Amino acid sequence: MRLSMVTTGALGSKILLSLCIAALFLASPSNSYGGEVPEMTLSLDKCITIALSNTTSAKKAENNLKLQGADVMRSYGSFLPRLSATAGFTPYTLSRSYSSNGATINKTTSRSLDITITTSLNLFNGFRDYASLRSALNKERAAEYTLSRALESVIYDVTQTWYQVLLDRELHDISRENLLSAQDQLKLTDRQFHVGLKSMTDLYQQQAEVEQSRLSVIKAETRMQRTLLELLRRLRIDPQKVTLEADPLLKMPAAVKPDKEKLVIQALERRSDLKSKSMESRAAQWQVRASRASWYPSIDLAFTLSSGGVKYLNPEYTYPPLSEQLENSVGYSAGVNLTWALFDGFQTRYAVESAKINQLNQQLDYEDLKKSIVIDLHQAASDYSSAFSQIDTAKVGFNAARSAFNAVKRKYELGAASFVELSTARATLFNAQSNLSQATYNLALQKSVLDFTTGNIAQPQ
């Protein structure tokens, strides 16, 4: 019995020691993966910078631009002569042959070395190389405009999400203020109930109002967290503690009606994606000319330099060394080659028709985008003008709702108004304040849409 108690005591001491060590490790600061993540402060400019460096679409557009640059280099190389070299070395060759009288067989052993250098220059191929070069240059310009538009899209997307996060944060603050107001009213109603000025029904209704306001706060916080995660998704960074700086540029611009016709002219001149489509259409036109080149002959200038030597291993054959043979047996040849495919099974005809169809489709895409820009710009200008009217209306509604709530609240505290009137006035004030915040940020959002549609989004240097 004593032994069992001693063993149990020892085991308990070990367990207690293990728990102390574990508590010590848990209490000590750690920089491991499970440690506390430092808080990050984000501004709109910082978000845009992070998104531009991390976004996949911009990286793909940049990679495509590099590829088009390599294609231009390849097209320039078509005007340069081709150069190739071949060399062959045979270390051992055995050949057998009959003698002149046919009575004996002669064996010959040797090693040989042959070197040939060939160069050729195309003199004419139906202007295929020139058309291919012009097409490659236009494609490179198109890739540059595509990259520029991809960066503008990233800036626009991040800006829209940024303002949405700020709006949801402000709506969350409004919900919390409404909850605090309802809680203060509950405290007053509770005191009035105990002195006999309010009924049990009024107290229960006020309690229900508080819980309803608390539910609105929870929903607003969930919506704010979801929008914040969407912002982090666009920045392609891990979820962490983030603090958003208030946007100092969120100011009320002058209520000027935008000139739609002038904006359309600006958009058609500045939109990078429209310029890209135009360059792609021009590239397709040059591809048609390149496809027609197969109907014409091809003329090439060729020059060949060759040398070789053989060293016999038989003692009866005495030849100079291979190095001397290579030096003394150098041969030259120059010629002009003409190639003309008289009939290729209508392959050239199909290639030309295919290039024509591609050029027509590119032109249709260009015209469709041009029309879409005009329609989108008219819609964006109308929404931008409407945003000013919404702000004016929201301001008037908010001032009226605030005055009405204060009046109803005083009457309710004096017992001259019912709880339904107070609850209705509070809900009206809450909606009016939310509408004013939404109208304010909607103006910023619509201004961003108008700039993106016009092509006026400034890119960081």
Mean pLDDT, all residues of the chain: 85
Neighbours of 187 (CB within 10 A): 11
**pLDDT level of residue 413 (50, 70, 90 thresholds):** confident
Lowest mean pLDDT across 251-265, 275-289, 295-309, 348-362: 251-265
Which of 114, 49, 62 lies closest to 85 in space, CA to CA? 114
pLDDT at 75: 94
More confident residue, 286 or 30: 286
Residues whose CB falls within 8 Å of the CB of residue 108, separated by 6 or more in sequence, listed in order: 94, 95, 96, 97, 312, 314, 317
More confident residue, 218 or 259: 218
- DSSP assignment string, 85-128: EEEEEEEEEEEEEE-TTSSSEEEEEEEEEEEEEEEEEEEESTTH
pLDDT over 80 at 335, yes or no: yes
pLDDT over 70 at 340, yes or no: yes
pLDDT at 184: 86
Indicate the helix (H) or strand (E) that contains 293.
Answer: none
CATH assignment, 42-80+125-297+344-454? 1.20.1600.10
CA atoms within 13 A on the CB side of 347: 7
Indicate the helix (H) or strand (E) that contains 257.
Answer: none
b/e code 103-115 from CB counts within 10 Å (16+ = b): eeeeeeebebbeb
| Gyration radius of the chain over CA positions | 42
pLDDT at 250: 57
pLDDT over 70 at 22, yes or no: no
pLDDT over 80 at 127, yes or no: yes
Residue 409 contacts residue 422 (beta carbons within 8 Å):
yes
- DSSP assignment string, 30-74: --STTSPPPPEEE-HHHHHHHHHHH-HHHHHHHHHHHHHHHHHHH
pLDDT at 8: 38
Lowest mean pLDDT across 26-30, 276-280, 314-318: 26-30
More confident residue, 459 or 88: 88
pLDDT over 80 at 247, yes or no: no
pLDDT over 80 at 47, yes or no: yes
Work out the percent of the chain whose per-residue pLDDT is above 90.
Answer: 53
Residue 290 contacts residue 273 (beta carbons within 8 Å):
no
CA 91 to chain centroid, in Å, comes to 59
pLDDT at 251: 59
**pLDDT level of residue 9 (50, 70, 90 thresholds):** very low
**pLDDT level of residue 256 (50, 70, 90 thresholds):** low
**How far is 136 from 115, CA to CA, in rounded Å?**
37
> Using one digit for the tens of pLDDT, what is the confidence trace for 60-104?
999 999 999 999 999 999 999 999 999 999 988 888 877 766 667
> Using one digit for the tens of pLDDT, what is the confidence trace for 290-300?
999 999 999 99
**pLDDT level of residue 188 (50, 70, 90 thresholds):** confident
* Three-state helix/strand/coil letters over 377-415: HHHHHHHHHHHHHHHHHHHHHHHHHHHHHHHHHHHHHCC
pLDDT at 25: 38
Q: Where are the domains of the chain?
A: 42-80+125-297+344-454, 82-122+299-339
> Using one digit for the tens of pLDDT, what is the confidence trace for 215-241?
999 999 999 999 999 999 999 888 777
Residue 428 contacts residue 404 (beta carbons within 8 Å):
yes
Which of 431, 429, 392 lies closest to 407 in space, CA to CA? 429
Indicate the helix (H) or strand (E) that contains 312.
Answer: strand 298-312
Residues 358-372 have a mean pLDDT of 96
Q: Is the pTM of this model over 0.85?
A: no
